[in-house]
Amino acid sequence: MNAALKNTAGNARLRAALVASGMTIEGLAHEVGMDPRTVERWLNEPGRTPYARHAHQVAQLLHVDPYEIWPTLGNRRKTSAQPRDEMLAWYPTRGTVPAALWATLLRGAVDRIDLALSCGLFLADAVPDLVELLTERAAAGTRVRLALPDPTQAATQNEATRLLLVEDLYTALQHVPGVRMVRHGGIANDVVRADEQLLVMPRVDGCPPAAAPVLHLKRLDHAPLTGAYLLGLDHVFTTAVPLVNTRRLAAA
């Protein structure tokens, strides 16, 4: 292996992506039209960030997100990240989100997972092994928080029963170490958070949740857009009440 790749200093994420791709420093430099010594500086000098066009070329070649490799890329000529830098993608409806994206984000979370949902049924459908996945992440040390709507505040008995049945889908998580389950009294947006990435489903008046758009956001430095939704998540979990028993169905 090239000595520059053995170096443990510098940009570990770029180094790992380069090793995973099987490409050499010289090969990458050739593909992007750079001197190999420049690529070595990207690898070995902490904080070294290439120009945006080179960063995106490299990311495309290595099949990675450029902002994962260079988190400050969006700030190269700015003092702080702008909302457009935080937007990785957007989808016109929940059904147009790539099916694998929900599970991919959750499975890749290391530090935390937050789920603030107005129902929770759609996510259980999108990720069939959701309970097992969250249990595995909690066992690995990921902090997991799940907020579902409070059935006691439902407008009708039928709605309360439906929400209790949805809770029942997640009941196995209730006593899993590292998982916190709560009931909220209503939320403005559905949010799925996996570390620094969020899938946000903002409410639209007169539009059912499934037909509303979905924003895929990535937190960059003190990102104003993502930061607002993270504050919203903190509000949800601060004001929510603990979920005591997920199997108290209305018929009981």
Taking the model in full, what pTM does it have?
0.66
With bands split at pLDDT 50, 70 and 90, how would you rate the model's confidence at 82? Answer: low
Q: What is the pLDDT of residues 190-221, one digit of tens each?
A: 999 999 999 999 989 988 889 999 999 988 76
What CA–CA distance (Å, rounded) separates 241 from 243? Answer: 6
With bands split at pLDDT 50, 70 and 90, how would you rate the model's confidence at 8? Answer: low
CA distances from 111 to 14, 98, 193, 231 (A): 21, 23, 11, 17
Residue 83 has pLDDT above 70, yes or no: no
Average the pLDDT over each of 117-126, 191-200, 236-245 and give the range with the smallest value. Answer: 236-245
Task: Tally Cβ neighbours within 10 Å of residue 223.
Answer: 22
Residue 131 has pLDDT above 50, yes or no: yes
Q: Share the mean pLDDT of the chain.
A: 86
* Residues 140, 235, 100, 107, Cα dihedral to 10°: -10
Is the domain covering 83-242 a CATH 3.40.640.10 domain? no
pLDDT at residue number 79? 47
Q: What is the pLDDT of residues 9-51, one digit of tens each?
A: 688 889 988 998 889 999 999 888 889 999 999 999 887 888 8
Boundaries of every domain in the chain:
3-72, 83-242
Strands across the sheet containing 197-202: 87-91, 214-218, 197-202, 189-194, 112-116, 143-149, 179-184, 241-242
* E strands present in the chain: 87-91, 112-116, 143-149, 179-184, 189-194, 197-202, 214-218, 241-242
Is the domain covering 3-72 a CATH 1.10.260.40 domain? yes
Q: What is the DSSP string of 10-72?
A: S-HHHHHHHHHHT--HHHHHHHHT--HHHHHHHHHSTT----HHHHHHHHHHHTS-HHHH-TT
With bands split at pLDDT 50, 70 and 90, how would you rate the model's confidence at 243? Answer: confident
Nearest Cα to 106, choosing from 175, 168, 191? 191
